Amino acid sequence: GSAFCTEQNMEQSISYLDQELTTFGFPSLYEESKGKETKRELNIVAVLNCMNELLILQRKNLLAQENVETQNLKLGSDMDHLQSCYAKLKEQLETSRREMIGLQERDRQLQCKNRNLHQLLKNEKDEVQKLQNIIASRATQYNHDMKRKEREYNKLKERLHQLFMNKKGKKIAMEVLNYVGRADGKRGSWRTGKTEARNEDEMYKILLNDYEYRQKQILMENAELKKVLQQMKKEMISLLSPQKQKPRERADDGTGTVLSDVEEDAGELNRESMWDLSCETVREQLTNSVRKQWRILKTHVE
């Protein structure tokens, strides 16, 4: 653009600057005039002082501007940092909200699970109470059964003791064929006093067990002997069948006699006391009797 001051408008420019500086509080650029009609002269010292003050003011303004710019930069950096922190805090807030929703859901599930566990615990307590009642009832029943068994055992013991005393009174000797040992393999020490009742119980138990074992063994022997007799009877019938009618009749009579003799011998053995004879003795006597009758039958047939 055009210059502010030229040679043509120098006076006007100085006058304008004087007015502006005076308005801003600076001293006038002209010297004081002594009369109204005299022309005002330019005061060079005032101009220089005004220029110096303007320069100082400019430096202050520049320094203030730099400070303001620096502060603006700091404020901008702080603003960016605050915006970043705000974004992070906003994200953390959103994350916290989601976590809170998840925790609330988990708390709801845990409360529901807790209610279910309380109900299950209540059911288990009821079941335990029922089982305790059943156990108490069974214990009572067991005690009643034990008392009943004990009464039956005492009656059986008294009966066995009475039978034992009756046999002892009749002076019937019982041959001990096998040693009646204890279950643990040790020899029993029969003592009196405090252990008398216990020793009697053990004796009765051992005698009962031995009696049951012997009874089973005798039943097995009787079954085997019956099978042998039936087989011999069949063999005798098959042996006598080819004979003529008359010899057959005689053979039948002989067979009947022999069989009756065998049955009589077996009856005699059965009538004997099994406490006095062992199984081996009974088997031997029956075998000898059968052999004897077989020889008689064979001789009769020939």
pLDDT digits (tens, 9 = 90+) for 153-169: 888 888 888 887 887 76
- List per-block mean pLDDT (blocks of 10 residues) for the chain, which spans 302 residues: 79 88 85 66 84 92 95 94 95 95 95 95 94 92 89 86 78 49 55 62 82 88 83 73 48 49 49 49 71 75 66
- Find all residues with CB under 8 Å of 50, minimum gap 6, and list them: 21, 26, 27, 29
**pLDDT at residue 192, as a whole number:** 54
* Look-up of token digits 């320069």: 55
**pLDDT at residue 209, as a whole number:** 87
Q: How far is CA 10 from CA 13, 34, 215, in A?
A: 5, 23, 164
**pLDDT at residue 193, as a whole number:** 55
**pLDDT at residue 233, as a whole number:** 72
Phi, psi of 253 (to 5 degrees): -65, -40
| Residue 228 CB-half CA count within 13 A | 16
Taking phi first (over 0 means left), then psi (-120 to 50 degrees means alpha), and beta for anything else, what does residue 188 get?
A: beta
**pLDDT at residue 172, as a whole number:** 46
pLDDT digits (tens, 9 = 90+) for 66-77: 999 999 999 999
Other C-beta atoms within 10 Å of 189: how many? Answer: 7
For the chain, which residues make up each domain, given as ranges? 10-30+39-100, 173-181+190-301
